[in-house]
Structure 1
Amino acid sequence: MTLICGAGAFGTALAVALAQAGPVTLWARDEGHAAQMRSRRENTRRLPGIALPEAITVISGAVPDPAGPCLLAMPMQALGEYLTAHRGALRARPLVACCKGMDLTTGLGPTGLIAQTCPDAIPAILTGPSFARDIALGLPTALTLACGDPGTGAMLQSVLSTPTLRLYRSMDAVGAELGGALKNVIAIGCGAVMGAGLGESARAALMTRGFAEMNRLAAGLGARPETLAGLSGFGDLALTCTSAQSRNYRYGESLGRGEAFDASVTVEGAATARAALGRARALGLEMPVTAAVAALVSGELHVAQAVDMLLARPLKEE
């Protein structure tokens, strides 16, 4: 049995995909939400129009603790509290983070937070260029499954792959989680560029310089450069910075247009920009794009001011 904790769009989509191979338990935080999904066989709040296969059992309350992997599909800023509250049920099993970001309190990524909170668990991360609806519809998707333990990584790759969900294995969990976290920051910036009407050329420049920053911080934190060039880095960056399906991109567009954004929508890149900037400064690294995005989301700068700040930087070699 596969256990997925978190009944948002991505957790539900993974449940739908993995139910092709066998029973899946989908844990929802709110019993009212769980009851609605059980009765309607659909997650109308987060993934409307997608039927839940009969192999999916929706629960809430206590987290079951049978042996086997547990997928943690919840917002990054909620992960630490969840791990602390349920560490008894989560102990001594593979825990696969399915969230992207950096924890504001600790500055850690998902696997670092798992290792700190549940030291006897085996941390892993599932990340890469994907939208929940594509996965639920069975559209071809490739992701990175990163785990520092090679045996557990191979097992997870086998268990979590489906005919339409192809997983590539990596041992560089730090690089994989940084790619998934930092691309959201750059996506906010790209959305702001397009929302402000600054054009495709400006977006391409921001993506490229943003990718250089992603690699700079990843190297400073011990990640492998080839990881950032793969699905969890460049692949996810390309998708998130060019599609209105991305919440981070849409949020950036709203900033660029000077419009309000739906506060109920999770935008991981907003918190990650602040956390990443803190880590970069501690390492003595320059990350001007990240700094500009952090200032945008905090309201310290408007888009025009952020652009002026970036363009006024000293000329340099690439």
Structure 2
Amino acid sequence: MADIAILGSGGFGLSLAVMCSNAGHTVTVWSKFQDEIDTIKRTGELKAKLPGVKLPEKVALTTDISCVKGKDLIIMGIPTSFCRDVCERAAKYADGRSIVVNTAKGLEAGSLKTMSQVMEETFPNNRYAILTGPSHAEELARGIPTTIVVASPDREVSYYVQNTLTNRTFRIYVNDDVLGCELGGSLKNIIALAAGVSDGLGMGDNTKAALMTRGIREISVLGAALGAKTETFAGLSGIGDLIVTCCSMHSRNRRAGILIGQGVSPEEAVERVGTVEGYACTRNAYKLAKKMGIEMPITEQLYKVLFEGGKAINAISALMDRPSKNETESDFLGQK
């Protein structure tokens, strides 16, 4: 059994705490918010983030980030926008033997770096891994069978995380493509937002299927240009995560998209729903695609809706009116 620190008391952090504790691990949850810790201690749950799920009494709760000292695993359950700050604070106390595991799905604003790149910079003395894949906190915490992927530059680390955290309701596969796994988990949030907009507009299953299928295509194209393996996007961190995020009402990205499709401003939609990783990721991916010279039409149209005042219905028309192409973006003579 492992001694685990989970940084972040949001829905996913708490769901991991429940799962790890029930599997017999020693778990400490850290939050920067004293009121959240007090609420959990008083009620046994955090209704605002994970309603109806009781945290095991043996899980320790703290606002002291030095709790990471001496842990086997330090699991980051922090939204992308706050990840670097929390990593820098935790790194001051982390032992070199601790393995740092990130679960955030997004790109860092400004630098456009992945979270593993952020961890490399903030935890220079620690080995790291990422956990990603189709895993709604609401289901994970309730013991509903969940399968995800672990990726690390060090396969020994991947196997350790796999063997340590896998249990009868939580199955982990190993993938060596860290970049591909991160991009799949991050960029699918953009497509889920777009799928939600489609739902909010009253479009049908045909439209959503098209968005999802062409969405994984443009994710793959950008990923390949950056050095990821295209086959990764056919796995759990690609299609798997895309399906669950585009189709479930657990998905904050989809819920925010529905509101936007119904006429709510993007800013208000995000405020109503809470953390919507796809919102910032759309801006970051749009900038990255422009920098790389990669065409990402769904991302581009969503960017116009979110940040340039574009109308959602016009975005659908713009996508449908694009020049005709072959599905593989090549002509029948094999020419681009």
For normalisation by structure 1, the TM-score amounts to 0.96
Contact 1:27/1:63, CA 8 A, preserved across alignment: no
Q: Residues 62 and 179 of structure 1: is their aligned pair in 2 closer, same or farther, counting only changes over 3 Å?
A: same
Unaligned runs of 5+ in 2: 328-336
Q: SS state of the match for residue 26, structure 1?
A: strand
Q: SS state of the match for residue 263, structure 1?
A: helix
Note the aligned Cα RMSD (angstroms).
1.3
Q: SS state of the match for residue 43, structure 1?
A: coil
**Where does residue 16 of structure 1 map in the other structure?**
18
Shift of 1:262: 5.3
CA distance, structure 2, for counterparts of residue 162 and residue 44 of structure 1: 26
Map 1:1-318; keep pairs closer than 5 Å.
1-20=3-22, 21-64=24-67, 65-90=69-94, 92=96, 93-259=98-264, 260-261=268-269, 263=271, 265-318=274-327
Q: Which segment is superposed worse, 217-226 or 55-64?
A: 55-64
Shift of 1:67: 3.8
Q: SS state of the match for residue 125, structure 2?
A: coil
Q: SS state of the match for residue 145, structure 1?
A: strand
CA distance, structure 1, for counterparts of residue 184 and residue 307 of structure 2: 23
Runs of 4+ in 1 over 4 A off after TM superposition: none
Equivalent residues, number: 318
Q: Which segment is superposed worse, 123-132 or 296-305?
A: 296-305
For residues 245-265 of structure 1, the C-alpha deviation after alignment (integer angstroms, 9 at most, x for no partner) is: 100001111110002425160
Query: AA paired with 1:6?
Result: G
Identity %: 35
For normalisation by structure 2, the TM-score amounts to 0.91
For residues 55-94 of structure 1, the C-alpha deviation after alignment (integer angstroms, 9 at most, x for no partner) is: 2111112332114110000111110121123321236231
Shift of 1:169: 1.0
Query: AA paired with 2:72?
Result: G
Q: Residues 262 and 286 of structure 1: is their aligned pair in 2 closer, same or farther, counting only changes over 3 Å?
A: closer
Q: SS state of the match for residue 92, structure 2?
A: helix
For residues 129-151 of structure 1, the C-alpha deviation after alignment (integer angstroms, 9 at most, x for no partner) is: 11101111101000111111011
CA distance, structure 2, for counterparts of residue 276 and residue 261 of structure 1: 20
Q: SS state of the match for residue 241, structure 1?
A: helix
